[in-house]
């Protein structure tokens, strides 16, 4: 029986030793997997940062393109035509508004002559006349210096009239 017990203890020790070896191998594999997971997470973080950086560059590029397009539109003849058309409409609306106010305020005035022009279909249009100012030189007359005023603190200030 002692031999059997020794034999069973030996088997159990060998089994225990093989389980320890298997456990060490599993720990080694687990450590490798943890390292691989950490590397993957690091790569994922780097990829996210790269995506954020690229999105920021894209947004900046879009803003620059939009700003250039707006500047081109502002300086284009089409925009100038739109500004002129808007200004004309605003002027006409303002004129009509004040014409109505004048008619309501001064009932005795005969404003029919304004309506006659409107009925005739005359519409104000911008002039096509252009002035060539390339050869024009500005003429500014510089005044001669006047006699210097006394700077002494003892001179009396001029009188100021009270208009009230």
Instruction: Write out pLDDT tens, residues 127-141.
Output: 555 545 555 555 556
Q: How far apart are CA 67 and CA 76, in angstroms?
A: 14
Residue 149 confidence (pLDDT) above 70: no
The pair of structure tokens assigned to 35 is: 């390292």
Read off the pLDDT of residues 71-116 as tens digits, 9 standing for 90 and up. Answer: 998 899 998 999 999 999 999 999 889 888 888 888 887 777 777 6
Mean pLDDT, range 1-20, rounded to an integer: 87
3-state secondary structure of 12: helix
What is the DSSP secondary structure assignment for residue 145, as one 8-state letter? P
Q: What's the pLDDT at 114?
A: 72
pLDDT band at 117 (very low <50, low <70, confident <90, very high): low
Nearest to 71 by CA among 63, 110, 88: 63
Residue 155 confidence (pLDDT) above 80: no
Give the residue, 153 or 72, on which the prediction is more confident. 72
Q: How far apart are CA 124 and CA 79, in angstroms?
A: 20
Determine if the pTM surpasses 0.85: no
Mean pLDDT, range 29-42, rounded to an integer: 95
Residue 64 confidence (pLDDT) above 90: yes
Torsional sign, CA 57, 58, 63, 67: positive
When mean pLDDT is compared across 61-65, 102-106, 143-147, the lowest value belongs to 143-147
Q: Which residue has the tokens 């790569």?
A: 43
CA dihedral 90, 95, 101, 106 (to 10 degrees): 170
Q: How far apart are CA 40 and CA 32, in angstroms?
A: 12
Residue 139 makes CB contacts below 8 A (sequence gap 6+) with none
Q: What's the pLDDT at 88?
A: 95
Ranges of each domain in the chain:
6-71, 76-119
DSSP state letters, 14-83? HHHHHHHHHHHHHHHHHHHHHHHHHHHHHHHHHHHHHHHHHHHHHHHHHHHHHHHHHHHHHHSHHHHHHH
């Amino acid at each position: 029986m002692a031999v059997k017990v020794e034999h069973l203890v030996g088997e159990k020790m060998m089994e225990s030793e093989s389980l320890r070896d298997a456990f060490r191998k599993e720990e080694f594999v687990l450590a490798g997997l943890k390292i691989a997971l950490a590397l993957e997470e690091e790569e994922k973080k780097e990829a996210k940062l790269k995506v954020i950086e690229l999105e920021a560059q894209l947004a900046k590029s879009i803003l620059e393109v939009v700003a250039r397009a707006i500047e081109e539109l502002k300086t284009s003849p089409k925009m100038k035509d739109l500004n002129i058309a808007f200004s004309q409409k605003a002027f006409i609306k303002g004129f009509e508004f004040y014409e109505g106010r004048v008619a309501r305020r001064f009932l005795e005035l005969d404003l029919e002559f304004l309506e006659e022009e409107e009925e005739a279909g005359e519409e104000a249009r911008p002039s096509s006349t252009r002035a060539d100012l390339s050869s024009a030189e500005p003429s500014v007359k510089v005044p001669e210096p006047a006699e210097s005023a006394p700077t002494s603190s003892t001179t009396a200030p001029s009188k100021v009239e009270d208009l009230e």
